[in-house]
Structure formats: C-alpha cells, structure tokens
Amino acid sequence: MEEKTLSIPNITCGHCVMTIKNELGALDGVRSVDGDPSRKSITVTWEAPATLEKIHQTLQEINYPASS
C-alpha cells in the first residue's frame, strides 16, 4: 500500500475536495482520499492496480492537476 500527499492549487473549497474524492475513489485500488482545502492538498492511499501515474492522469482530466 502506498500513500502520497499531493498539492492541488485548484482546490478552493470542500466541494472541490468532494469531487476529487469521488473521482479518485472510483479508481480500482484507491483505498482512501482525504483533502484539506485550506492547504490545497490531498492525501491518497492506494494499492495495485492503481498507480501514481493513473492518479495524476485522473486529476488532470477533472481539472485538478497536482503541482508536484
């Protein structure tokens, strides 16, 4: 199981975090997604078949690209 905190500059509110949680949560292998609008970050926990690349790709697709 892997975990990473990502900076998401486009987060402005709790609704943004909920959108990200719903989209990433639908990926097979993603176990949890927690977000903090004030810090503009999310923490994702996943295992195979999910990958960090797929998480980044999904964030890009929903217009919440990670800055790092």
**What is the domain-level CATH number for residue 7?**
3.30.70.100
In the prediction, which pLDDT does 50 show? 97
- Residue 20: inside a domain: yes
In the prediction, which pLDDT does 68 show? 59
- Residue 66: inside a domain: no
Tokens standing for residue 45: 């926990």
Indicate if the alpha-carbon torsion angle 3, 68, 36, 55 is positive or negative: negative
Tally the domains of the chain: 1
Range of the domain at 49: 2-61
- Residue 11: inside a domain: yes
Q: What is the pTM of this model?
A: 0.92
In the prediction, which pLDDT does 35 show? 96
- Residue 14: inside a domain: yes
Residue-by-residue pLDDT tens, the chain, 68 positions: 999 999 999 999 999 999 999 999 999 999 999 999 999 999 999 999 999 999 999 999 999 999 85
